[in-house]
Amino acid sequence: MFNRWLLNLGLLLLVVLLGLAIVYLRPTEQEPPAAPLTKLKPEDVERARIAFADGGEVRLQKQHQRWVLLMPVQARASRAMINNLLTLATAASALQLPASADNLQKYHLDTPELTVWLNDAEIRVGMQHAFKDARYVLHGNQIHLVPARNVTPAAYRYRNLLDRRLLEEGRTPVAISLPQRSLQLRDGKWEIQPPDATLTPDQINRFVDEWRFAQAFAVESYSNRPVVDRVRLRLQAQATSETETLELAILSVAPEFVLYRADEALEYRFTEATGKRLLNIRGE
């Protein structure tokens, strides 16, 4: 009797295990991937335009594989921010609705927060989804729901699209003229005036890199503030070895260090601590 009970229990456990195996090991049906919002590939976009509901407008264009702003200022564009903008072209469309008058009004697409053109593809940006991290957009004759990370209206303001690097990528300082000191690269070695034997090559190279990779925390149009002093950089293009001189105006050293590039009509704002590192090899 006891042996028969054990046999029945074993059979029951076997049935349960087989059932679990069927449930967890059978192939699952995968949902088809969401269709991209447009047929554009980000690398094929050559120009972009952003029009805001308040009347602001930004125009951008790719020139020699680099993006630049054309409006409202002419300046270098941030590679990272442009890449973020271009992800809108391939944003995953989780929902498609007819662009009826009622739907356009319902999702605030009749008066969009902004409209983006990537080449000739027009994309209107409407309201945020009530529960999901997603936004309604209009492209073609359909309303789509795309991830909010692909639509960041505040980031599309021109100030946020500006390249915050002081120097263009691929340009290296070969001479730096400061208010109190100058450096020049000759035959692979830095010469300093006035001479300072206590400085090590590592200190000098770190100082040059401070200028080479300087990145502002904000970039603004020129405020017409008076010039406090000036810095001159001799820059060499890595691709061609050609050199040119860039003159920078110091507008402030505290509480912020502000440099003005007249060729771009832009101010680059740094912290006071960064300013000390840029004006003094020892960062003092």
pLDDT by residue (tens digit) across 120-173? 999 999 999 988 999 999 998 999 999 999 988 889 999 999 999 999 988 999
Q: Give the Cβ contact number of residue 172 at 10 Å.
A: 17
- Provide the token pair at 128: 């945020």
Instruction: Determine whether 66 is exposed, middle or buried from the number of CB atoms within 10 Å of its CB (0-12, 13-18, 19+).
Output: middle
Phi, psi of 264 (to 5 degrees): -110, -10
- In this prediction, residue 19 carries a pLDDT of 55
For the chain, give the mean pLDDT.
88
Going by the DSSP 8-state scheme, the letter that residue 204 receives in this structure is: H
Q: Which two tokens stand for residue 47?
A: 């120009």
| Cα–Cα distance, 38 to 25 (Å, whole number) | 37
pLDDT band at 216 (very low <50, low <70, confident <90, very high): very high
Query: Of the candidates 223, 76, 99, which has an alpha carbon nearest to the alpha carbon of residue 161?
Result: 76
Calculated CA dihedral for residues 50, 51, 54, 58, nearest 10 degrees: 50
Mean pLDDT of 66-71: 95
Higher pLDDT, 82 or 8: 82
- pLDDT value for 17: 52
pTM exceeds 0.85, yes or no: no
Place 33 in a pLDDT band, splitting at 50, 70 and 90: low
